[in-house]
Amino acid sequence: MADVSLARVTVDRDRALRLLQNYGVYGGVMVLLVFNFAFTAHFASAENFRTQAVQVAPVLIVALGMALAIGTEGVDLSVGSVMALSTSLLSLYLGYGPWIATLIAVVGGILVGAANGALIAFVGVQPIVATLALMVGARGLALVLLPQLKDVRNPGMAALGSGDVLGIPYLVLIAAALALLVAFVVKRSTFGRRLLAIGDSRPAARLAGLPVRRVLIVVYVCSGALAAVAGVLATARLTASDPTSLGTLMELSAITAVVVGGTPLSGGRVRIGGTVAGAVLIQLLTTTLIKHDLPPSWTQIAQAVVIVGAVYAARERGKR
């Protein structure tokens, strides 16, 4: 008798944890929204939601790439530096017009991603080490190209940063489109299946004849390209190229969004919806604390609590 009830308790606990891991992030977002509607003055305005969406867009785009890298049981620490490199390149080539400059900035991100992928896939360096090297290198290169902050006066870039379609800012539209695209690729394409298979077990994927190296390189190229796009958007919003501070600690924000969103660091599973919600959760958390004028150190502590909670929920899966 006792055995049966004990077993049921464990089952219930398992299910609760799985639910928490899968849907906890959405619950967190709901809790914060309800709290803000109740206690934060002027929260329920279109203008406010617009601001929050615009602020979260670059982090979200970077987190999409990060989710892919984490899905292969890797990580991409170079994303913040890629943003800096992208803003440097953008500023350097803006004389040719915003389209060409953006293209070159994205190509820069792709090159860094290719270098990351080559180190990981061909040389066999651990992802954390390979991307750490590129994180240092790309920031250095960005500062060599553009040593100090430079204003961006191009009207096209300014429009990208502050313009909108039917009240929805370009930044938000681009972020949403990229999120849908990445979600589609992960869920529906062969590439997405291969990516998850590699993340689950690389030796098994290799034995099954999957093109492991090619997939890995493409994953890091995507991550680099997405980070470069985020760098371009952040530059447009700031109307200035600031390689010294743009993207600093971005890798941590992105990893936080991915992990909080329920993607396990052990790979083999990517949750794009959760990643989006994770980025929104961190944004709302920061905003709530800022709007209530709590000391900035509280924001960091609150973020830490959320991360620990998310990792605790994810822990059970590894034990299975």
Partner 1 sequence: MKHIAPLRRASVRTLLATGLVTGLALTAGCAKSEDSSGNDKASAQQEDPGQVVASPSGGSGPSCTIDSYGGSKVDLKSATVGFSQSEKEANPFRIAETASIKAEAQKRGVKLLTANAQSQFSKQISDVQDLIAKGADLLVIAPLNSDGWEPVLRTASAKHIPIVTIDRKINAAACKDYVSFIGSDFVEQGRRAADQMIEATGGKGEVAILLGAAGNNVTTERTKGFEDRIKEKAPGLKIVFRQTGDFAREKGQSVTENLIQSKPGIKGIYAENDEMGLGAVNALKGAGKKPGDVKIVTIDGTRNAVQGIVDGWIDGVIESNPRFGPLAFQTLDTFTQGQEVAQDIVIQDSSYTESNAKADLGKAY
Residues within the interface to partner 1 (CB under 8 A): 40-43, 45, 47-48, 51, 55, 89, 91-96, 107-108, 111, 114-115, 118, 122, 143, 145, 147-154, 162, 234, 237-240, 242, 244-246, 287, 290-291, 293, 296-297
DSSP, residue by residue, 279-295: HHHHHHHHHHHHHTT--
Least CB distance from residue 167 to partner 1, whole Å?
13
Q: Cα dihedral angle (247, 225, 193, 174), rounded to 10 degrees? A: 80
Least CB distance from residue 309 to partner 1, whole Å?
24
* 21 versus 91: smaller Cβ distance to partner 1: 91
Tell me the HSE value of 104 on the side-chain side, using a 13 A CA sphere.
16
CA 72 to mean position of chain CA atoms: 15
* 141 versus 272: smaller Cβ distance to partner 1: 141
* 110 versus 196: smaller Cβ distance to partner 1: 110
* 211 versus 268: smaller Cβ distance to partner 1: 211
Least CB distance from residue 90 to partner 1, whole Å?
9
Which residues have C-beta within 8 Å of that of residue 98, sequence separation ≥ 6?
A: 154, 156, 157, 160
Q: Classify 190 as helix, strand or coil.
A: helix
Q: CB neighbours (10 Å) of residue 200?
A: 16
For tokens 């929204």, the residue is 33
Q: How far is CA 156 from CA 57, 159, 160, 177, 233, in A?
A: 19, 5, 6, 20, 12
DSSP, residue by residue, 91-113: HHHGGG-HHHHHHHHHHHHHHHH
Least CB distance from residue 123 to partner 1, whole Å?
8
* 21 versus 287: smaller Cβ distance to partner 1: 287
Least CB distance from residue 21 to partner 1, whole Å?
30
* 142 versus 277: smaller Cβ distance to partner 1: 142
Least CB distance from residue 315 to partner 1, whole Å?
32
